[in-house]
Amino acid sequence: EMSPLSALAAVVVAAPLLLFSTPASALAKPKFEARPAGQPGLVTIPLDKQYVPVTRNNRTVMYKTAYFGTIYVGLPQPQAFTVVFDTGSGHLLVPSAKCKSPACETHRTYQRNASQSAVDLDHDGQPVAADVVERDQVEIAFGTGEIVGDFASETVCLNSHAGSTAADVEQAMDCTKLRVIMATEMTTEPFGAFEFDGVLGLGLESLALDPEFSFFGQMTKLNPNMELQFGVFV
C-alpha cells in the first residue's frame, strides 16, 4: 500500500535573498530579508515525501522515495501544482485540462483559459497562429512511461504571488518566464501511482529541447547574481 508521509525538507535555490523561516508552519508563508549586494540568499520550498511501491509479477518488491513540493503557474491567479524536482531532465511538465488519461484525472490540471500570462507555442518557440487546428506536440519518455504534450510559455514561481500585479511578479526573484509542456496524455505507469502532479527538471540546458525550457537557465538570465546551485535538506 502506498504510504505518503510528510517530512520537513526543502529544495533550496541560491538567490540574493535570505529566508528567515525555520519552523514548518512558517515555511508556508516565506518572509524575505535582503542581504548586502554580492552575498547569496535562499529561496526555500517545503517538501512532502511519498513511498512509491515497485512491483514485480504483481508483488511489491520494494519502495522508492519521492520528494515533491508546490510551484505556481500563471497569472493573475496562480495555479498550484505539486512537482517532483528531477535532476535528470530539463523541462517543466504539468497535466493539461485537455488530458483525459486516467493519470491526469487524479491530479490537478492546468487551466489554459484561466491564465492571462500564457502564450501557446509551436515546437520552435513561435506563437501559435489563431487559425491553427492541430498543435505541435512532443513525446517524452520517463522511465517506464511517457507523456505527450503541447508547448506554451508561462510565468512560473516558487511561491504564490496571488494578488500581485504582473509588474510585481516580473520583479520577484523566485519567478521567471519559462517554456513549459502541458501534458495532454500521460501513461498510468508510472504517473498514476504518484501523488505529485508533474515534474520540474533542474537539469542543465543540454537536457532540454531548447534553453528557454531550462528553469535554472531562465532564472539566471533574470537574476545575474543567482548561483546555479540547489540543495535538498531531509
For the stretch 1-53, pLDDT in tens is 333 333 445 555 543 332 323 333 333 344 334 334 444 456 788 888 888 88
Q: Please give the pLDDT value at position 9.
A: 52
**DSSP letter at 127?**
B
103 C-beta neighbours (distance < 10 Å), count: 21
DSSP letters along 135-164, please?
Answer: --EEEEEETTEEEEEEEEEEEEESS--TT-
pLDDT > 70? residue 179: yes
Question: If you average pLDDT over residues 189-215, what whole number do you get?
Answer: 90
Count of all residues that appear for the chain in the document: 234
Q: Which residue has the cell 520537513?
A: 8
Does 82 score more than 90 pLDDT? Answer: yes
Q: Where exactly are the structural domains of the chain?
A: 3-233
Question: Which pTM does this prediction carry?
Answer: 0.80
What does CATH list as the number for 3-233?
A: 2.40.70.10
Condensed to tens digits (0 to 9), the pLDDT of residues 111-149 reads 999 999 999 999 999 999 888 888 999 999 887 789 999
Q: What is the pLDDT of residue 39?
A: 44
**Residue 190, preceding peptide bond in cis (omega within 30° of 0):** yes
pLDDT at 26: 34
Confidence (pLDDT) at 149: 95
Lookup result for grid cell 508546490:
70
The average confidence (pLDDT) of the chain is: 81
